Amino acid sequence: MTYSQQYEGVFKEGGDVLKFENEKVYFNMNEMGNMITNKVGEGSYEILGDYLLVKTGEYSGEKSSVQPLPGSKEDSVGIKVTDNRNFSLPGILVELLNSSGKTLHGGVTDSDGKFFFKKNSKGHTIKVSDMGYDNISFAYDPTNDFLVKLVKNDVIENQTVVFKLKKVDDETLSVLLLSTDFNPGKNQLKALEKLDKKARKSNYIDKYMKKEYEPYQPNLQQ
C-alpha cells in the first residue's frame, strides 16, 4: 500500500538528500561502508511498516554518456574518457566483452584518458568503469572510436531500493539505506527484516535527516 501523503518535502543531512514530491521519491545518498560513491535515483514508492521501497525508473539527472566517433586506426578501437567538465580521466578500466559477458581484452586509460584495444570479431559490448563513477556499457562497433563522459555518483535505474525509515518528529527522519537492488523472493517482509538485521550487525548508523523549507518566492510576473 502506498501512502503518498505521509511524507512530503525535502529532507537533508550533509550532502544526502531524500525528496518526496508528487508521489515520487528522489534520493542522493552515500552508502554505509562506501563513502566514495553516492547512490542517486528516483521513482515511485511504497511504505511497508518502517521500510521505504523505491521502484526506480529512468534517472532524469546527469548520467554517464557515450559518443561514437569515426575510427582513427585500421586495426584498433580507441576509447577516450573524460569527466563531465571534459577533463581527461586516467586509470579508468575499459573492457571489451563478448556476448556472454566474458572479458576479451581490458586495461586502464593513460594520462590522456585514452585506451586502445585490437579489433575483435567476438566483441559485443564495451564496459567503462571505476569506483565513484556512474559506470557505462555500450555496443561495440569496430568502425568507431568512442568518447565516454563519466559522471560522479552511481545512478540506480530499474531496481528496487530499500531504506529503513522512521519519523523521529515532524522535522526529522531517521534513514538507513539497506539495498540498491532488492529482490524479495517469496516473502518480502522476511527479506526486508533480513536486510535490516544484516545492517545492524555491520553497525551501520542511521542518518538523521532534517526537513528543509524553501524560502517563500513571490510571483513577480504580471
Extended strands (E) in the chain: 9-13, 16-21, 24-31, 34-48, 51-56, 65-70, 76-83, 93-97, 103-108, 114-118, 125-129, 136-139, 144-150, 154-155, 160-169, 172-179, 207-212
User: Does the structure show a pLDDT above 80 at 32?
Assistant: no
Are 205 and 7 in contact, with CB atoms under 8 Å apart? no
Separation CA 102–CA 123 (nearest Å): 10
Count the residues in the chain. 222
22: cell is 508528487
Q: Measure the CA dihedral 174/175/176/182, to 10°.
A: 140
What confidence tier does 37 reach under pLDDT thresholds 50, 70, 90? confident
pTM of the model: 0.78
Cα 204 to Cα 11, 46, 172: the distances in Å are 20, 23, 19
Residues 56-91: pLDDT tens digits? 999 999 999 999 999 999 999 999 999 989 999 999
State the first-to-last Cα distance of the chain, in angstroms, to the nearest integer.
43
Region of 27 please: left (phi>0), alpha (psi -120 to 50) or beta: beta
Confidence of residue 222 (pLDDT cuts 50, 70, 90): very low
> Which strands make up the sheet holding 103-108, listed edge to edge?
103-108, 93-97, 125-129, 136-139
For the cut 80, the answer to whether the pLDDT of residue 136 exceeds it is yes
